[in-house]
Each structure stands twice: as structure tokens, then as C-alpha cells.
């Protein structure tokens, strides 16, 4: 955490880009010595659950980002954490030109959706996502919110490069994950085709074959997530 975080941040006069989601997330410049670093500021409200837990989502995001960077895992550089009455500000370096993995999924599954701006194929992105999940889990990270909206993609010489964001639910463990946690994370991306889920699973376990029953269990977990998401849209329509 740093003091006087507002003095280190410069927000565009016209408001800048605002990102969709439950919390206010906006572009800014973070002044670090003589450098102005392109940044994203996530302003997270402190609710009663965080007060009971004794640690805010902003603090968890900052600590998780630092732990992931120390393990060589891809997430934007954490720059600062500000704690105020009622909210925290988590500041990280902006990923220039990044698109959500969701852009490829929506183009594939939703009629009329435009193609992503980056010239990467759906197969490249899904295979890369599988390899990313494997490195994450082998590094002891149970992401818990490994959705296609929480992974950004940039292109590096025609190959996808990934960045994990929205880290507040992730848990850092001291050992590689067990099979159940691995499959729970793999069920989060919105791959609603068995063929596409198999592509993810094959890239995750490559060069070996997935364990017996993994495909069936992954399909069951994905079905359960879809049912729960549909139920949440009915019960909490303001969170659509």
C-alpha cells in the first residue's frame, strides 16, 4: 500500500475508457518517479463480507498479483494499493491491445457477433488457454474464477499471450492442485461445445491423454455452472 495514491494517479480529462463489470474500472496514468505508467484502476467497494474476513478484495488482488509475478505467472504488474473508507483501489499496469478471451467465444457461439480484432484463431486461443491453466495449477494457483472474461489476450509474433486479471478470488497454495480443483477451473471458460472442451482438456494434459472420466466430469461441471449462471440472472437481474 502507498500513501496519497490520488496524487500518483492522473485520470483523463474526458473520463477515459471504462471497463464493464460490477466495480468501477478505469484507465489512468500512474506516476512512478519520473515515469508515467499506463495503468488500470479498479475501485472495489468494501462490503460486510470483506469486513468479516478481515481483508479486502483489493488487498487480496494486490497480494495475489505479487505472488503470481514471483512465480513467473502472467498477470499485469501490480503498481499500488489504496485503502479508503468504503473502498479499495487496486492499480495495475494496463495491457495495451489486449482482448478478452470472451471475444473468440462469442464470435463462435453467438450469431452476428464480430470477429476479434486480433488475428488469432479460436483453436490457437483455446489451446493456449489450456497451457495457461496447466502452468497456473502446477504453480499452485487455484484461480476459482477462470472465466473467459478474466483472461486477456495479446498477439506476440502470431501467437497468443495471456494475462490473468480479476484476481481477488484466487488462492495461492504451497503445492500443485489436486484433480478436482483443476477441473473446476477448467469448467469456468464458456466452452459450451464438447468438441471445444476436449480441445482445452487435450492441450492441458498434453503430451499425455486426459485421465479416464475427465471429459465426462468436465462436461458435468460446465453444465452445473451454466444452470447456476442462468439462475443468478433470474435472482439477481441487476448483475447481468
In the chain, what are the domain boundaries?
5-93, 99-239
Q: Does residue 173 register a pLDDT over 50?
A: yes
Q: Are the beta carbons of 116 and 94 closer than 8 angstroms?
A: no
What pLDDT is recorded for position 47?
Answer: 82
Indicate the average pLDDT of the chain.
Answer: 90
Range with lowest mean pLDDT among 5-9, 13-17, 143-147, 198-202: 13-17
Mean pLDDT (whole number) for 22-44: 89
pLDDT band at residue 2, thresholds of 50, 70 and 90?
Answer: very low
Q: Does domain 5-93 have CATH number 1.10.510?
A: no
CATH architecture for segment(s) 99-239 = Orthogonal Bundle (1.10)
Amino acid at each position: 500500500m502507498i500513501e496519497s495514491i490520488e496524487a500518483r494517479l492522473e485520470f483523463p480529462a474526458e473520463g477515459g475508457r471504462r471497463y464493464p463489470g460490477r466495480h468501477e474500472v478505469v484507465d489512468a496514468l500512474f506516476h512512478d518517479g519520473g515515469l508515467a505508467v499506463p495503468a488500470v484502476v479498479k475501485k472495489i467497494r468494501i462490503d460486510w463480507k470483506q469486513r468479516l474476513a478481515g481483508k479486502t478484495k483489493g488487498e487480496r488482488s494486490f497480494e495475489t498479483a505479487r505472488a503470481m509475478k514471483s512465480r513467473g505467472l502472467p498477470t499485469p504488474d501490480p503498481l499500488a494499493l489504496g485503502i479508503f473508507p468504503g473502498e479499495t483501489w487496486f492499480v495495475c499496469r494496463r495491457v495495451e491491445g489486449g482482448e478478452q478471451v470472451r471475444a473468440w467465444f462469442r464470435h463462435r457461439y453467438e450469431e452476428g457477433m464480430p470477429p476479434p480484432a486480433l488475428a488469432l484463431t479460436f483453436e490457437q486461443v483455446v489451446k493456449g488457454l489450456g497451457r495457461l491453466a496447466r502452468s497456473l495449477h502446477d504453480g499452485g494457483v487455484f484461480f476459482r474464477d477462470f472465466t473467459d472474461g478474466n483472461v486477456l489476450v495479446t498477439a506476440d509474433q502470431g501467437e497468443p499471450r495471456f494475462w490473468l486479471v480479476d484476481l481477488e478470488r484466487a488462492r495461492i497454495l504451497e503445492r500443485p492442485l489436486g484433480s478436482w480443483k483443476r477441473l473446476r477451473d477448467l469448467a469456468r471458460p464458456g466452452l459450451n461445445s464438447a468438441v471445444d472442451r476436449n480441445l482445452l482438456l487435450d492441450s492441458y494434459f498434453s503430451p499425455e491423454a486426459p485421465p479416464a472420466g475427465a471429459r465426462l466430469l468436465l462436461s458435468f461441471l460446465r453444465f452445473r455452472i451454466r444452470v447456476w449462471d442462468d439462475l443468478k440472472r433470474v435472482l439477481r437481474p441487476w448483475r447481468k
